[in-house]
Structure 1
Amino acid sequence: MSFPLFDLTGRTALITGSSKGIGFALAQALAQAGARVVLNARDAVKLEEARAALAAQGHDVRAAAFDVTDEAAVEQGVARIEAQGPIDILVNNAGMQHRSPFAEFPVDAWRRLSSTNIDSVFLAGRAVAQRMIPRGRGKIINICSVQSELGRPGIAPYAATKGAVKMLTKGMAIDLGRFGIQVNGLGPGYFKTELTQALVQDAAFTDWLSKRTPAGRWGEVHELAGAAIFLASDASSFVSGHILYVDGGITASL
């Protein structure tokens, strides 16, 4: 059965921070929908391992190692990708977490969080948008979080960065909409990944999460696929400035 609105055949998608975890899952989802995917991360070895894994599944995939917090590196990296064909879809997924009580939060960790979680979205988004504008089309998906809406103890700076990504998404949608570019956010809830493994194994936290989440469980990364394909495809041609939360209902529940 074919669903043309969701078909990404012939389109190229750049996914930042995609050597593992949610970024890799999103890359796999877009590839399964027909897109050529370009994986990005700083670690070239892990990036090649991820590329090889997707290529072994029969997908059209390339790797582009560069630091999305470095303006010059982003510009050069995007230019190299565009030299082989236009970027039709950008997924700004690169991000990090650091947990510490606010009064004890290290300044260097605050700066790393801000650079990785906010600067990367601005830099990659700007570089790709500049090239999408003359073409009059494009899809940009910024990875937000339930922490774009909700707080938790020990992660005030992280929540601040994800709140900023939410508002940057809305601002980008406003400025770029007249050029035929849709900009939306994808907000994952609590998903089982390498980065959350310690929390998954924490029985008390998992019990709290299961009670707090209407779905009653952790999310599995493959459950982000449908939302990502929707936001990357023609199915969302009149959707922009929206944050789509995939969270088992946690943002809807007190």
Structure 2
Amino acid sequence: MPDQTHSPNASILATLRSAEAQRINFHLGPWHIDGAAFERIARAIEVGDIKIRVEPLPQDVEARYDDFNDYVVVPPAFFAGTVGDRAAIIHECVHAIVDLQNSKGQFESSNEAAAFLASFLFRLNSGEAIPPATGGNANVRLVTTAEGIARNLQKQPGAAVPTRDLSDLRWSIATHPHYRTKGVTYISPNSSDGLFRLKMRRKSENTDPNRRGQTDLNYTKNLPPGSRLA
């Protein structure tokens, strides 16, 4: 459990690097959600490519990821003190993984499906039961579908989510009232657009051959503190 005396940043980094997160390993479409992917997000937070913002959130929202501005939002006094808190961070950081990879032609419902499966796997890896679904048939259908797929993935590290299972989960998400109010449909396009600095780097690689093959940290270590790219 992350030390509750830590800042939200430290708690989130500890969650991403925890044994429970590092044991997550599955493929969904073009995305490989595994320990290495969570480590890339941790490093992106450390170098400032992804920011952590603390601000009030609606009562039913534990955290959120903003793929346009590249930040994770958590509520005040958030220290990832429970498995549920940490599972919520895993959910949002899967959205960050999808944003970082920036694969074109994907669907919002697939992005959400990957996030649900990772958060459920985190709970299962923690040895904690998935809380029983409440709040109506749509919620029960979503939780039951995601839990069944997650349990199968836990037994098959590195497996791809079967096409039929993914279709069922995407449908459960698209028909859920929470996601319908956000405009998510079965085929609505995913809005991930890549991390800001990495997009700038790719543009520079086209004109500066000396930058090809360098790591992300090569681009940030010489920037002035507090700059947009630091």
TM, length-normalised to structure 1: 0.27
Structure whose residues are more often strand by fraction: 1
Q: Which has the higher contact order (CA 8 A, sep 6+)?
A: 2
